[in-house]
Structure 1
Amino acid sequence: MIRSAALEDVPVIHAMIRELAEYEKVPHEARATQEQLREALFGERPAAFAHIAQAQDGEAVGFSLWFLNFSTWRGVHGIYLEDLYVRLGARGGGYGKALLAELARICVERGYERLEWAVLKWNAPAIAFYEALGARPQDEWSVYRLTDDALRRLGSGPGPAPDSAPGPVRG
């Protein structure tokens, strides 16, 4: 069963985020707190949304966490899937597909034209799973990210001079 996450799911979502970070071999990067998740998902102005995959016994065995993006070319919103995770013992039970199908249903229902996510290049089982569903890699794009010191340096400086602006940036 797939359902929208509720406030009482925050601890299990937080635990699964930690499990995902372990799986991806970067546990030190998962610094989000339960309070941050509560605010992002259920605060006054939620910025993210989540769904829970539940086993028949009611146990949460997976989750998806997502937010809206916007395509300037298509002129409509889409969904960016930040995390999709199914606990090890529940993999192969259809939970991942059901979570993705729920997001696809939301896209269709709301007129969103894209459901996008990133996958680590070494995660062959996930890549095979996504491609079997009809998803295709966007190989012509490279993902860039500013974090930590580089983000602070750029964000605290005076900004670029008018004649040093880069060419067009499309995201």
Structure 2
Amino acid sequence: MPDPRIRRARPADTAAILQLVRDLARYEREPDAVEASRDDFAAALFPAQGAPTAHAHVAEVEGEVVGMAVWFLSFSTWTGKPGIHLEDLYVDPAYGGLGLGKALLTTLAEICVDRGYRRLEWWVLRWNTPSIDFYDGLGATPMDDWIDYRVDGATLTRLGGAR
């Protein structure tokens, strides 16, 4: 019987986190999109100086990292309080059914409650009905009235260079 547990990520977990991100990218039909390196994760999650720009929790079964939640702080001008934006949640499908995805989300919700954060938010691809069903089952509210925007690549360079 596996002994799953959720814990804060440690520097030694960066290779496993990167592999899970690559696995997630394949699942999300973007297998070549991951540019991040292990060093990138180490610098963001465990910087030598200053505060981390991202945080992570991992799901571990029998000493092996099999799932992850990578997140960062957000801020609501309406509530005047921080929140958590969940960037990626992924559990190796071989470990599905153990409740690890829910346990990762519950851990982040506990952090929000303990710290007085007002929101736990994330995005999900419209075609990802298994995840949508999972989130709906937890009582999460889809934010259908909002359109997500992104500026990156050459557009970001052009916009950021226009002074």
| TM norm structure 1 | 0.90
Take 1:124 and 1:69, find their aligned partners in 2: how far apart are those partners?
26
Report the counterpart of residue 18 of structure 2 in structure 1: 14
Report the counterpart of residue 31 of structure 1 in structure 2: 35
Report the counterpart of residue 87 of structure 1 in structure 2: 92
Q: Which amino acid aligns with 2:12?
A: E
* 1:34 shift after superposition: 0.7
Report the counterpart of residue 46 of structure 1 in structure 2: 52
Quick check: 1:72 aligned with 2:77?
yes
Match of 1:145 among 135, 147, 150: 150
1:117-153 superposed Cα distances (whole Å, 9 cap, x missing partner): 0000000000000010010100000000001011111
Count of residue pairs brought into register by the alignment? 157
More relative contact order, 1 or 2 (CA 8 Å, 6+ apart): 2
1:82-127 superposed Cα distances (whole Å, 9 cap, x missing partner): 0000001011210000000000000000000100000000000000
Runs of 4+ in 1 over 6 A off after TM superposition: none
Deviates more, 1:25-34 or 1:130-139: 25-34
Q: Which amino acid aligns with 1:132?
A: G
The alignment-based identity, stated in percent, is 50
Take 1:63 and 1:15, find their aligned partners in 2: how far apart are those partners?
10
Computing the radius of gyration from Cα coordinates, the structure with the larger value is 1
Structure 1: give runs of 5+ residues left out of the alignment. Answer: 159-171
> What secondary structure does 1:39 align onto?
helix
> What secondary structure does 2:14 align onto?
helix
* 1:29 shift after superposition: 1.4
Q: Which amino acid aligns with 1:111?
A: G
Report the counterpart of residue 63 of structure 2 in structure 1: 58
Report the counterpart of residue 163 of structure 1 in structure 2: none
> What secondary structure does 1:129 align onto?
helix
Take 2:136 and 2:79, find their aligned partners in 1: how far apart are those partners?
23
CA RMSD of aligned residues (A): 0.6
Which residues in structure 2 correspond to 1:145-164 (within 5 Å)?
Answer: 145-158=150-163
Match of 1:105 among 106, 110, 113: 110
Q: Which amino acid aligns with 1:52?
A: V
Match of 1:5 among 9, 23, 31: 9
| TM norm structure 2 | 0.95
